[in-house]
Structure 1
Amino acid sequence: MVSTLRTPCAADQLLIEEVRQHEVLYACPTKSNKDNQLRDTAWQEIADAVGKSVEEAKERWRYMRDKYVKELGRNDKYRATNGGSVAEPPDATSFVGLMSFLNPFIKRKSSNG
């Protein structure tokens, strides 16, 4: 199955890399990442690095993260119906490849229900 996500532009790649460097924004809840001030500071640093407002950076990140999670779900469904393998594994330049650092923190819905 070919990924339905387009290759990210340089701005999206930068945003993904900046978020990756701020684990407080995506890791499982701990005392430190429940701290809104730390999260706000991280978003301000990211916004400055990508040349957008904090709100624009957050909105773009949410969009990309949601698309990524949906793509993972599609891949899971494809594996379930096609013998457990994906026809074309994602490469490191796709959203799927670049955002794979999120995998340990994504809770997937069970299809056994």
Structure 2
Amino acid sequence: MQMADRIISAVSDYPELYNITLNSYRDSQRKARAWRAVSLQVEMPVDDCRNKWKNLRDTFVKFKRAEQQRRASGELDIHKKTWMHSRSMSFLTPFIQAKGLQGDTTDDLEEEERERNRESATEGVDDKSAYIIHEIEGDQADDEDAPSPDTVSESNGPSRKRRWQMDGMDGLEDIEDEMFFFSLLPYLRKLPHRKKSAVKLKIHQLLHEAAFQ
């Protein structure tokens, strides 16, 4: 499967990335998590996924506009070649029509840029939230003999040293675990209800055995 097909398939599993009628479409945090899941699924950086999807979506919109114009003019579709991804991206059609095929794309591009900035800020917070950096001012020595008054006086001067401590590795592990389960969602969603329930039960059993045995 080509990379374009993989991205189309992955994005289709996350309606918050394209369904403009959903509240989650305007939820920057949820969309940022969805893009990270897509990135894991197709094994490509988030920014590359977003840019590739934007190019695919824009090409699809142009194709649909041209198709609409041909139909309006009475031109038969058999005289025009079909875009190779038009069928696999047909799930976008209702949302493109809801937004308007004939509208000027300037507002859309500006809104997309604002949305990307919001999501980038969210991704930055998520990526860095695992590392809480504390600035600890004071002497460099740890639990040594109490300093003399002269030493205390010197330590309050311009020669005060700084030490940096980094915590939050548990938070990093939580994010990795979350991303792992996000990467499984597309496969789980495609299963029939019976098999999906069986898979969930098996996961619970494995987690229970790992935790208590």
Q: Which residue of 2 aligns with 1:75?
A: 67
Runs of 4+ in 1 over 3 A off after TM superposition: 88-91
- Partner residue, 2:90: 100
CA shift, 1:95, in A, is 0.9
State yes or no: 1:20 paired with 2:32: no
- The one-letter code sitting in structure 1 at the alignment partner of 2:102 is K
For 1:41, which of 33, 57, 63 is the aligned residue? 33
Tell me how far 1:29 sits from its aligned partner. Answer: 4.0
Q: 2:102 aligns with which of 88, 98, 109?
A: 109
Shift of residue 97, structure 1, vs aligned partner: 0.6
Report the Cα offset of residue 76 of structure 1. 1.2
Which SS does the other structure have where 2:86 is aligned?
Answer: helix
- Offset, 1:51: 1.2
Structure 1 residue ranges without an equivalent (≥5): 1-8
Query: Which amino acid in 2 is paired with 1:35?
Result: D
Whole-angstrom CA distance in 1 between matches of 2:41 and 2:6: 8
Give the letter for the 2:14 counterpart.
H
CA-based RMSD: 2.0
Q: 1:10 and 1:82 mapped to 2: Cα distance?
A: 35
Match of 2:197 in 1: none
Q: Distance in 1 between matches of 2:81 and 2:94?
A: 18
Pair 1:51-2:62 in alignment: no
| 1:64-99 superposed Cα distances (whole Å, 9 cap, x missing partner) | 10001001111111222235x4116848xx211110
Q: How many residues align structurally? A: 99
- Percent identity of equivalent pairs: 25
Separation (CA, whole Å) in 1 of partners of 2:23 and 2:71: 36
Distance 2:24 2:71 in 1: 36
User: 1:31 offset after TM fit, Å?
Assistant: 2.4
* Distance (Å, rounded) in 2 between the aligned partners of 1:25 and 1:53: 16
Indicate how the Cα distance of structure 1 residues 13 and 95 shifts in structure 2: closer, same or farther if over 3 A, else same. same
1:86 aligns to 2:62 (yes or no) = no
**Structure of greater Rg:** 2
Larger fraction in strand = 2
Q: Identify the structure with the greater helix proportion.
A: 2
Supply the distance in 2 between the matched residues of 1:101 and 1:30 (Cα, whole angstroms). 15
Unaligned ranges ≥5, structure 2:
104-213
